[in-house]
Structure 1
């Protein structure tokens, strides 16, 4: 099953050099999660042939414009395209008022319902879960209230080893095997050991999104051992003092967080418009954490379940 991250926008503050404001689309087993929604997000969704109407959950990390100014355009477009399904939006205090105000003064009554949940930027909370996946928030250290998000697959069933499966085993017993249980007869006697008929479950994958934040090691326990980590790296190391003053991070700071969290792979983004060439970002980050990628718009990063 899929676990794919699509980069829609990778720049901070202002668009520059063909780079757009922050936005990402995560597909987990056909759950489409939009994470932040900067200006031009709907254009990027169209450009990269993403299934916009399949987005049912939008997570906005904070209320700086480069992370949410594309939201109203997307909401209106979904309406004009005849959307009927509920849209769940998670954001900081004030976002619901922004949405309601724009709908009010444009005289718009949507075809669908927006279900808004206000984030608590001081807490880690479960925002969404079903039998396959869980989404949680966690606090980030930025100039205004800001939350990170971690999306995890739930434990997967054991896989049936078809070559060893006895003939005529009932569907009930097969379901028990998938749960990791042994098979007993009606008298309570062990008939089959689970380990003899199954293969280990496929890997449950995880993705952590660390939006705007200064260097802060307190987030590590939220993102420990994550398979894929996005951490902002607005500046190169030479501007570390400015990063501290503006509550942002440098390349090496993002890489250090990935190293301490024992992440499997790091993506850096939210690049300052002062930089045209991003090669030094990759060089500096890989000096600390080798398995680092740039957030390159249009690229898809797949997390295998092997």
Structure 2
């Protein structure tokens, strides 16, 4: 079972190529799946990567450019044909509903499951979804249209019981849940047994930040500071910095600068312009700022566990 994996389904930009697919990712957190963006080819990539459609309950759309959402109609239809019955929640800018409602009316009549659209304020950093496994926050980005990234924050697991110690102190089974949550144990004689003697701390909770598409925007740094993994768009090389500025995208060097300032633990770049057949230039420019930058690629699985 995956503890916290990021599956890269597509990492290209708007113009289709034979090298890269349109943007989409799947976050696998202990077999619960969360999709981020849904470009064309997403469901085919899910098949290639053997990702189970039935475990997907939330989709997060960053903005309404086609390379981030044109895969939605096909995916929604497929989920219906697979017999899905549980609710699917799609999070995204308010324009998302204007796009999806006609599609659902024309192509997805009679779906056996409910689709709920949760509108996200792309100009605010706020909690937009929470379940037992994680909390998801919006990250305001700077693009040509309303756009936001997403911060996925794993919830801290309970401590692990040290069975030999709880047996030694004869801790009743009914108290185990309280012990896991941090309670001390008081023996019949009144001795206080510290929780640290009865448990082993769980691994620290992980955080993943997804930032695509955006111009160089240092305002996001407080929201992503110290994350375990940052995915940041790097559409252009420095030789095309003027084009990046014009289209509200980032260069690889700018993505690395954000990672460096935010002191993130890992950086992965993607959303490559179709003009670059060889991505070594992007990696080299990013590495000059943030050492050991990783180039995203279709089929890549990055584990945070």
Of residues 119-128 and 164-173 in structure 1, the stretch that sits farther from structure 2 once superposed is 164-173
Q: Please tell me whether residue 34 in structure 1 is matched to residue 39 in structure 2.
A: no
Structure 1 residue 50 corresponds to structure 2 residue 44: no
Once the two structures are superposed, what CA deviation does each residue of 1:184-223 show, in whole Å capped at 9, x if it has no partner? 2478x34311122222221201110001000111101111
Partner of 2:174: 172
Whether the 8 Å contact between 2:13 and 2:273 is mirrored in structure 1 is yes
What's 2:186 paired with?
184
Report the secondary structure of 2:294's partner residue: strand
Tell me, which stretches of 5 or more residues in structure 1 are unaligned?
Answer: none
Whole-angstrom CA distance in 1 between matches of 2:270 and 2:177: 43
Q: Write the deviation string for residues 106-138 of structure 1: whole angstroms up to 9, x where unpaired.
A: 372211100111111111221211232111112
Q: Partner of 1:229 in structure 2?
A: 230
Distance 1:107 1:217 in 2: 41
> Is the Cα–Cα contact under 8 Å of residues 62 and 146 in structure 1 kept in the other structure?
yes
Preserved CA contact (<8 Å) 2:187 2:193: no
> Are the counterparts in 2 of residues 264 and 291 from structure 1 also a CA contact under 8 Å?
no
Check if 1:296 corresponds to 2:304: no
SS in 2 for 1:149: strand
- Which structure 2 segments of 5+ residues have no match? none
Give SS of 2:57's match: strand
Q: Which residue of 2 aligns with 1:9?
A: 10
Change (3 A) 1:179 1:26: same
CA RMSD of aligned residues (A): 1.5
State the alpha-carbon separation in 2 of the partners of residues 123 and 242 from structure 1.
27
Mapped to 2, the partners of 1:227 and 1:172 lie a distance apart of 36
Instruction: Provide closer, same or farther for how the CA distance between residues 256 and 166 of structure 1 changes in structure 2, counting only shifts above 3 A.
Output: same
TM-score, with structure 2 as normaliser: 0.95
Answering whether residue 213 of structure 2 is matched by residue 198 of structure 1, we say no
Q: Is the 8 A contact 2:283 2:293 kept in 1?
A: yes
After superposition, the C-alpha distances for 1:220-264 in whole angstroms (9 at most, x for unaligned) are: 111111001100000011111211111000011101111111111
* Separation in 1, partners of 2:129, 2:74: 24
Q: Secondary structure at the match of 1:288?
A: coil
Cα shift readout 1:133-155 (whole Å, capped 9, x = no counterpart):
11111210111000110111112
Tell me if structure 2 keeps the 8 A contact 1:61–1:91: yes
